[in-house]
Structure 1
Amino acid sequence: MFGIHITIGRALGPGLLLALSLPLGAREPLSVAWSHWPPLSQIDANGELGGLDVTLTRQILGKAGLEPRFRNLPWARTLHLIERRQLDVAMGALDTPERRRFARFSIPYRRAHFVLLGHQPAPEAADPWQGITSLADLCRQSGLRLGKLRGTRPLPLGDPCPTLGTAREYNSDDRLIALLLARRLDGVIMEWQYAHHRLTQLGANDFIRCQLLLHRQPVSLMFATEAVSEETFARIDAAIAALPPPDPAFAPPRCHLDATRLPAPSTP
């Protein structure tokens, strides 16, 4: 009997064995990474973890019979731990071929909006955005000083639009905003929700304008391989499909140009 028990245990796998060992009605725990990224994930005034991603993840996993246990981790560390199966889930993840080598992805549960922000022209100062009325105009510019977060790839237009593809990289979005407000950069490429939240905190919304909506990027929950069973994974996707429409507060901004509605410029 002992030998038979070992054989069955190996066949079932660790995930299913854990589910079978849980008390009736208990939820299977999953470790979920989060980092400070308001208004998507943050500690609120009451000391509680909240934000749109956190709320949606709790709702999605709860409907699938799972209990998220959140861990505060930087993004690079999150990827490292998921690849080594030492962490179960990451929120707000872009589904890429490179990550599919070591992870699985739910269907998208929201969209991130990447924008190109510029400052309002100062009185009697030259406006670097004057005369840019189309995507082709922008892509012909060679004098714009642009920045973006290091390691991000929010630009499907990066190759055919050199102006965007050669943006200088920085280590934090807060640094990008500081350089933009100081007029040391003409524009920054950022995720809109965080940019709007931070500019509101600084009282700087009147000094910044959205020049270009670049990309509506679908994001998913990223799972370490074998973190959940196929049946549970199907329940997760079903829970996402049943989510209500997005809150209007998280809608994309109105920008001077909308690259999602314009053809990409042709490569010379």
Structure 2
Amino acid sequence: MERSLKNLYAAICFAITGALSTQAMAECSKTLVVNQASWKPYMYRDQTGAMAGLDYELIKGILDQAGCDYVFVEHPSKRALVGLENGEVDLVTGASITPERQRYGRFTRSYRPEEIVLVTRAADRDRLRASSLQELMSSYPVVLGAVNGGYYGEEYGALDQDSLYRSNRLILVQDVERLIGMLELSRIDAIVGDAVSLHVTAGSLGLGHRIAVHRHRLSSDVVHLLLSAKSTTLEDLKVIDEAIESYVNSEAYRSLMRRYGFSGGEGADS
């Protein structure tokens, strides 16, 4: 009887230890500092002051799936990338792959789609005819606006941004709300940015009918989470990649994406 109890106790201890070991293997190496940028409908504070948005919900779903602990901080996009490079921020969302970011960060597999567009005042859509961003900037004296620190595809990257900035033809601000307001006040003539974010933000400001998407679309791609190479590990990347693969194939993911106007299945690397 005593031996049986000892064997039972040993079996229970082994099972608990094994469970704890499995749990530990699924966790990240630290409590992740995740940046919460102001970027409707992906990350923002709602009318009650609570954090909300598609990426906010997605990152929680992914990191909960991975078994990682995390806290949110709030920095503008440009400052967050500097913090990520320095190891003060561990993770940013909605990141496109660029050589510069690969120098100081590690990209996960993709987790949702993204479309980059040009937005103008509705009255200017047919007037500003162009088949490329370069043609638009060279053919018309337009002032272009964008969120500082954002990546908007190869066409935007190919512009002589320093020259445009010095000549006040490129205006960089911290959030989309300011860009929409500046477009309405004719302080800028076009905005380059995420299609969903521009549409939702203009609607929330009551200006949806005043803007239009230019006929030339800049890019359709997918976005990733970006981890700091300085403050996270390769094992963290592996754990989060596995969580993304599992999460984007779940009904919870598809339901969430449908709620925000996406079809729900895109975004996972094949």
- Tell me if TM exceeds 0.5: yes
Structure 1 residues 138 and 81 mapped into 2: Cα distance closer, same or farther (>3 Å)?
A: closer
Alpha-carbon offset, residue 231 of structure 1: 3.9
Matched positions, count:
226
User: Runs of 5+ in structure 1 lacking a partner?
Assistant: 1-18, 122-126, 253-268
SS state at 1:156 partner: helix
What residue number does 1:109 align with?
A: 111
1:44 aligns to 2:46 (yes or no): yes
What residue number does 1:155 align with?
A: 153
Structure 1 residues 193 and 226 mapped into 2: Cα distance closer, same or farther (>3 Å)?
A: same
Task: Please identify, of 173-182 and 85-94, the stretch whose mean Cα deviation from structure 2 is larger.
Answer: 173-182
Alpha-carbon offset, residue 35 of structure 1: 2.0
TM-score, normalised via structure 1 length: 0.69
How large is the RMSD of aligned CA atoms in angstroms? 3.5
What residue number does 1:223 align with?
A: 227
Task: Please identify, of 107-116 and 148-157, the stretch whose mean Cα deviation from structure 2 is larger.
Answer: 148-157
Task: Please identify, of 107-116 and 59-68, the stretch whose mean Cα deviation from structure 2 is larger.
Answer: 107-116
Aligned 8 A contact 2:62 2:240 in 1 = yes
Aligned 8 A contact 2:77 2:150 in 1 = no
Alpha-carbon offset, residue 24 of structure 1: 11
Structure 1 residues 38 and 231 mapped into 2: Cα distance closer, same or farther (>3 Å)?
A: same
What residue number does 2:211 align with?
A: 208
* Alpha-carbon distance between aligned partners in 2 of 1:160 and 1:226, rounded to the nearest angstrom: 29
Alpha-carbon offset, residue 154 of structure 1: 0.9
Structure 1 residues 250 and 182 mapped into 2: Cα distance closer, same or farther (>3 Å)?
A: same
Aligned 8 A contact 1:109 1:240 in 2 = yes
What residue number does 2:191 align with?
A: 188
- 1:147-200 alpha-carbon deviations (Å, 9 max, x no partner): 1224444132247789xx955223243333223223444322122222222211
SS state at 1:197 partner: helix
Structure 1 residues 111 and 249 mapped into 2: Cα distance closer, same or farther (>3 Å)?
A: same
TM-score, normalised via structure 2 length: 0.69
* Alpha-carbon distance between aligned partners in 2 of 1:77 and 1:137, rounded to the nearest angstrom: 27
Aligned 8 A contact 1:146 1:189 in 2 = no
The structure where helix makes up a greater share of residues is 2
What residue number does 1:255 align with?
A: none
Task: Please identify, of 60-69 and 41-50, the stretch whose mean Cα deviation from structure 2 is larger.
Answer: 41-50
SS state at 1:218 partner: strand
Q: Partner amino acid for 2:145?
A: K
